[in-house]
Chain A
Amino acid sequence: MEIWTEKYRPKHLKDVIGQESIVKRLSAFTLTDSMPHLLFAGPPGTGKTTCALALANDIYKEGVKENFLELNASDERGIDTIRVKVKNFARSKSIGDVDFKIIFLGESDALTSDAQQALRRTMERYSNTCRFILDCNYPSKIIDPIQSRCVLFRFKNLNKEDVMNYLKIICKGERIDAEDKVLGLICDLSKGDLRKSTNILQSCSVLSVKITEELVYEIASLAKPEEIKKALQLSIKGDFVGAKEMLFDAIYKYGLSGIDTIKQIQSEILGLELSAKSKMDLIALAGEYEFRMVEGSDEFMQLESFLAQFFKRE
Chain B
Amino acid sequence: MNIFNKYSSKSISDIVGIEEQVEKIADFLKNFKSYKKKSLLLIGPEGTGKTSSVYAIANSLGFDVLEINASDKRNADNIKSIVGSASLQQGLFSNNKVILIDEVDGLSGNSDRGGVREINIILKSTNFPIIMTANDEYSSKLEGIKLNSTVIKFKRRGYWEVYKLIKFISEAENKGLSTISLKKIASLAQGDVRSAFNDLENIKSDSEVDDLFERAKESSIFDVLKIIFKSKTPESLLNSVENLRDMEIKDIVLWVYSNIINEYEKPHEIKKAYDWASKADVFLGRIGRRMYWRFLVYAKLFITLGVGLSKDEMYRKFSRYSPPQRFKSLTKHSKVRAENKELAKELSSQTHCSSNKAMKEYLPFYKYWKLQKQI
Contact = CB atoms under 8 A, between A and B. Distances in A.
Contacts of B348: 72, 75
A297 B303 CA distance: 14
Contacts of B368: 203, 206, 219, 222
Contacts of B340: 253-255
A3 B281 contact: no
A88 B146 CA distance: 79
Q: Quick one: which of B277, B329, B336, B352 has the most chain A CB within 10 A?
A: B352
Contact of A292 (B253, B282, B329, B352): B282
B91 interface: no
Interface string B329-363: 11011001100110010011011111111011111
Contact of A301 (B253, B267, B372): B253
A241 to B, nearest CB: 6
B250 interface: yes
B318 interface: no
A196 B360 CA distance: 11
A245 B261 CA distance: 13
Contacts of B337: 252-253, 255
Interface in A247-272: 248-249, 251-255, 260
A70 B354 CA distance: 11
Decide if the interface of chain A is mainly helix, strand, loop or mixed.
Answer: helix
Interface in A95-133: 106-107, 110
A6 interface: yes
Contact of A74 (B275, B278, B354): B354
B354 A73 contact: yes
A309 B277 CA distance: 13
A255 B359 contact: yes
Interface of A: 1, 3, 5-6, 44, 49, 53, 70, 72-75, 106-107, 110, 195-196, 199-200, 202-203, 206-207, 219, 222-223, 225, 238, 240-241, 244-245, 248-249, 251-255, 260, 289, 292, 295-298, 300-302, 304-306, 308-309, 311-312
26 contacts: A1-B366, A1-B369, A1-B373, A3-B347, A6-B350, A49-B353, A72-B348, A74-B356, A75-B355, A199-B361, A203-B365, A206-B369, A245-B329, A252-B330, A254-B359, A255-B337, A292-B278, A295-B286, A296-B278, A296-B285, A297-B284, A301-B281, A304-B257, A305-B257, A308-B274, A309-B274
Interface of B: 250, 253-254, 257, 261, 267-268, 270-271, 274-275, 277-279, 281-282, 284-286, 288, 326, 329-330, 332-333, 336-337, 340-341, 344, 347-348, 350-357, 359-366, 368-370, 372-373
